[in-house]
Structure 1
Amino acid sequence: MIRREKVKVLLYPVAMFALVYGLWISIQPSILRNYDVYRLISNILEPYQIGGIFVALAVGMLVSYWLRSRRLLFTFTMILMIIWSVFTVSFVISPPPNTVWLLSATWMYFSFELVRRV
């Protein structure tokens, strides 16, 4: 059983940010060309695929919450947390030095808290 109030407080911000982030990457693929991290990833996946992963995870999280499927919500949130973790580490170690890693670290933490509450 999902503890609805504790989960809902974090679910909507985490899912909405992932949705907007995914849509923005899909709409503005030039973002992926400005950072070395994205260049490494974009050799494997196209920008719309990366954005699609974020969108699919966000939609999956919302649908699993509405269907009260704890396992699915846990799985989608865990995958999102792993992706944010990879982005955080990648932004820290790649040039040019910037503070974008703080953004991904923040959403990684929120995703972790959501995983704990599910």
Structure 2
Amino acid sequence: MSEKNKQVVNKVIRNEKVKVLLYPVAFFALIYGVWISVQPSILRNYDVYNLISSIVEPYQIGGLFIAIATVIFMSYWLNQRKLLFIAAMSLLVIWSVFTVSFVISPPPNTVWLLSATWTYFSFELVRRV
């Protein structure tokens, strides 16, 4: 197999590895953003929200998730790898903040497991891009 063919095969394999994670991660972020925007009481039930409520509103956080998910989809479809990396990294940072916030905020619950899972998936997406 020639070197050029190996490069094409590696590119196709890498693209498939990205696609396997990209769609679930971006789709979940989009749905999560819409849900936070529609049901702002979700965030208001946690003490962490009291710390940031003077800075941002739930619909702004939801809008951020929606915007990042949209950028992830568009950058993938337009084959803009650098933009995809930046958007995926942004989503990773947001999920990481959510994970830590939910761990330290009362009332005790398992919501942090959800955000930790999506933090991991976002990390894997960033790693594969």
Query: Aligning the two structures, in what range does the TM-score lie when normalised by the shorter sequence?
Result: over 0.9
Cα-to-partner distance string for 1:17-54 (whole Å, 9 max, x where unaligned): 00000000001111121111223233210111110000
- Partner residue in 2 for 1:11: 22
- TM-score in terms of structure 2 length: 0.87
Aligned structure 1 segments of 4 or more residues deviating by more than 6 angstroms = none
Please report the RMSD computed on the Cα atoms of aligned residues, expressed in angstroms: 1.3
- Identify the match of residue 28 of structure 1 among 25, 28, 39: 39
**2: CA distance between counterparts of 1:32 and 1:87?**
10
- TM-score in terms of structure 1 length: 0.95
| Structure 1 residues not aligned, in runs of 5+ | none
Q: Which amino acid aligns with 1:99?
A: T
| Counterpart secondary structure, 1:7 | helix
| Structure 2 residues not aligned, in runs of 5+ | 1-10
Q: Which amino acid aligns with 1:11?
A: L
- Partner residue in 2 for 1:48: 59
- Partner residue in 1 for 2:121: 110
Which range is displaced more, 88-97 or 71-80?
Answer: 88-97
Number of residue pairs the alignment of both structures matches = 118
Q: Which amino acid aligns with 1:110?
A: F
**Which of the pair has more CA radius of gyration?**
2
Q: Which amino acid aligns with 1:35?
A: Y
- Identify the match of residue 82 of structure 1 among 78, 93, 106: 93
Which range is displaced more, 39-48 or 10-19?
Answer: 39-48
Contact 1:32 1:39 in 2 (8 A): no
User: Identical aligned pairs, as a percentage?
Assistant: 76
Q: Which amino acid aligns with 1:58?
A: A
